[in-house]
Amino acid sequence: MSSENIYILGIESSCDDTSASVIYNGKVLSNVVANQEVHAKYGGVVPELASRAHQQNIVPVVQQAIEQAGITKNDLNSIAFTRGPGLMGSLLVGTSFAKSLALGLNIPLIDVNHMQAHILAHFIDEEGSRIPPFPFVCLTISGGHTQIVKITNHFEMEILGETIDDAVGEAFDKSAKILGLPYPGGPLIDKYAQLGNPKAFKFTKPKVGDLEFSFSGLKTGILYFIQKNVKENPNFIKENLNDICASIQYTIIEILMDKLKNTVKQTGFKHIAIAGGVSANSEIRKRLTLAEKHWGWTTYIPKFEYTTDNAAMIAIAGYLKYLNNDYSDISVTAKARLKVTE
């Protein structure tokens, strides 16, 4: 580890949140996030509106992050930014800004893989946080990804299993939409589920490979279930919302836990981490904590603020790459599709 005092500015603009963070020797000094509420009325993220909002937000967000960190831009050692995956228009805003700032300050530029950054958020230096030892397994769960990844070192990763169709975050949000809940619906299902009976209704789990996921059939099953019951009782959703949400959440989390159990059985790894927006879900966090007692796993659950898209995870990934002198050329381009192994 370097003895030099290193300040990294991280910039995240992959989807609909504009975020900037300053990390000092692995510790977070600031992590500013500007949410875009404009998408709620459309029931999902509108790419064109997202990129316009990033253009409006990026300068004040970066300035606020630097001010909160108690430094000036001249103290920065490097600029780290999200190269991908994500929405192309949104990525271009962050990429262009990061390039311009790095050129203006004459400091290195570091491109970061968004999905790697979700995993590397576990290496943020904070009091009371546990850092997983190599090798370990990470379940990356978000609106666009559902993967089981073997982590050999900070930048050597292997996908052991992934979804063959939809991501788990999409399953939560689409289920919420079927129930008439506003976007983003995943957190609302979690909220109502805590008041309901998880065994009230039974949904069929997909039959796929031991380490594979599938949520397309589950979504269809939930849709048909709701349509059938609403036809018989127009007030079915209103009268049973908590139980429906609890049953949906229970089924989804059971699927995730089954795959993790299969992973431990096949690999022998018992250090298990989670990452990505869905790792904010209360049930997966509870079940992982219980797994330590039941199965002798050691589990790593990120702080809530580092689960959804944020720049602190981009900054820590940039910091680790900076220590390796792994810089980007100014000709680097944004990439909407990018695997966690790239």
d(Cα 144, Cα 166) in Å, to the nearest integer?
8
In degrees rounded to 5, what are phi and psi of residue 299? -110, 150
Residues placed in the known binding site for substrate: 140-144, 173, 186, 190, 281
H helix or E strand, kind and range, residue 224: helix 216-232
Annotated binding site for Fe cation: 114, 118, 309
Token duo for residue 204: 């069929």
Cα 260 from chain centre: 18
| Region of 80 on the Ramachandran plot (φ > 0 left; ψ -120 to 50 alpha; else beta) | beta
Residue 159 DSSP SS3: strand
Helices 186-193/282-295 angle, 10° precision: 60
User: Residue 73: CB partners within 8 Å, gap ≥ 6?
Assistant: 9, 66, 101, 105
Backbone angles phi, psi at 187, to 5 degrees: -60, -30
Annotation: binding site: 114, 118, 140-144, 173, 186, 190, 281, 309
Angle at 250 between CA 248 and CA 253, to 5 degrees: 105
Q: How far apart are CA 154 and CA 318, in angstroms?
A: 11
Helix (H/G/I), strand (E/B), else coil: 328: strand
Q: Which residue type, as a one-letter code, is found at position 47?
A: P
Burial call 269-305: b when 16+ CB within 10 Å, e when fewer: bebbbbbbbbbbbebbbebbeebeeeeebebbbbeee
